[in-house]
Amino acid sequence: MLKPAALLYDRFMRSVEEAGLLAWRTALLAPLSGSVLEIGAGTGRNLGRYPPAVTWLVMTEPDRNMRAILERQVRAGSREGEVVDAPAEHLPFPDGTFDAVVSTLVLCSVVDPDAALREIHRVLRPGGRLVFLEHVAAAERPARLRWQRRIEPIWKRVAGNCHLTRDSERAIGSAGFDITAIERASMRKAPGVIRPTIRGSAVAVDRGR
Ligand SMILES: C[S@@+](CC[C@H](N)C(=O)[O-])C[C@H]1O[C@@H](n2cnc3c(N)ncnc32)[C@H](O)[C@@H]1O
């Protein structure tokens, strides 16, 4: 039996996707090519948005309910891809496997974002790209940030460990990535506490530099 959270995710996000999220996904993924790993792929919202230049697509998803929906989407055939049961903190791939890693709305939910980013860096080839779209702390809106802090303990419990106050831009920069493009925008039609987002691209650079 699938858990309601997984079943309700697409329904919960439908108006947000239509209000702009889908367009963001399409634009972010369009430049990708070669071997791509998507972490926390959820129900497969990005699946149909990968361009043909992506020749090998692997999607990890640790939640078995989400994974069941994802596998169904792959079988339905919108795009070929391999589905792997693994958390982002422990990726079962050798160093330097992928040209790009995709993380959309995932760094909020992982148990340990710094460990996840270390793993993403490890599995990327040198110069490979992390493409990200994440909701983040409302650093420039003190009233909203206070509200995020207040409800985060409850939100985490009901929304699959989703944190509202993470600073994913700082975490990406601290994990050996050069952020080469970033946009900050409000995710329209989303609940206010998850509206502030960042999206962009970062290059894996040598940690020892
Ligand atoms: C808000 S959903 C986003 C799903 C999808 N990436 C999207 O863009 O719609 C968060 C996803 O992160 C996954 N997740 C939670 N903890 C994770 C972890 N430690 N490693 C990888 N994925 C994780 C969840 O199972 C869920 O699929």
* CB of 85 closer than 8 Å to CB of 64: yes
- Check whether 129 has a pLDDT greater than 60: yes
* CB of 30 closer than 8 Å to CB of 46: no
* CB of 171 closer than 8 Å to CB of 200: no
Q: Rounded to the nearest whole angstrom, what is the distance from the C-alpha of residue 5 to the centroid of ligand 1?
A: 12
Domains contained in the chain, number: 1
In a domain, residue 55? The reply is yes
- 209 — pLDDT class (breaks 50, 70, 90): very low
In a domain, residue 209? The reply is no
Could you tell me whether strands 177-186 and 196-204 are parallel, antiparallel, or unpaired per DSSP bridges? antiparallel
What confidence tens digit (pLDDT) does each residue in 150-201 have? 999 999 999 999 999 999 999 999 999 999 999 999 999 999 999 999 999 9
Q: Is 181 helix (H, G, I), strand (E, B) or coil?
A: strand
**CATH number of the domain encompassing residue 41:** 3.40.50.150
Give the distance from CA 59 to its chain's centroid.
Answer: 11
Look at the chain and count its residues.
Answer: 209
Residue with tokens 């697509």: 57
CA distances from 15 to 88, 119, 184 (A): 28, 33, 20
In a domain, residue 111? The reply is yes
- 7 — pLDDT class (breaks 50, 70, 90): confident
- Check whether 30 has a pLDDT greater than 70: yes
- Mind giving me the DSSP string for 73-94? HHHHTSS--EEE---TTS--S-
Q: Rounded to the nearest whole angstrom, what is the distance from the C-alpha of residue 181 to the centroid of ligand 1?
A: 23
* Number of Cβ atoms within 10 Å of the Cβ of 104: 23
In a domain, residue 102? The reply is yes
Q: Is 104 helix (H, G, I), strand (E, B) or coil?
A: strand
Q: Rounded to the nearest whole angstrom, what is the distance from the C-alpha of residue 139 to the centroid of ligand 1?
A: 23
Range of the domain at 107: 4-204
Instruction: Pick the residue whose CA is nearest to atom 26 on ligand 1.
Output: 42
What confidence tens digit (pLDDT) does each residue in 63-116 have? 999 999 999 999 998 789 999 999 999 999 999 999 999 999 999 999 999 999
- The ligand 1 site (C-beta within 6 Å) comprises 39-42, 45, 61-63, 66, 87-89, 104-106, 109-111, 160
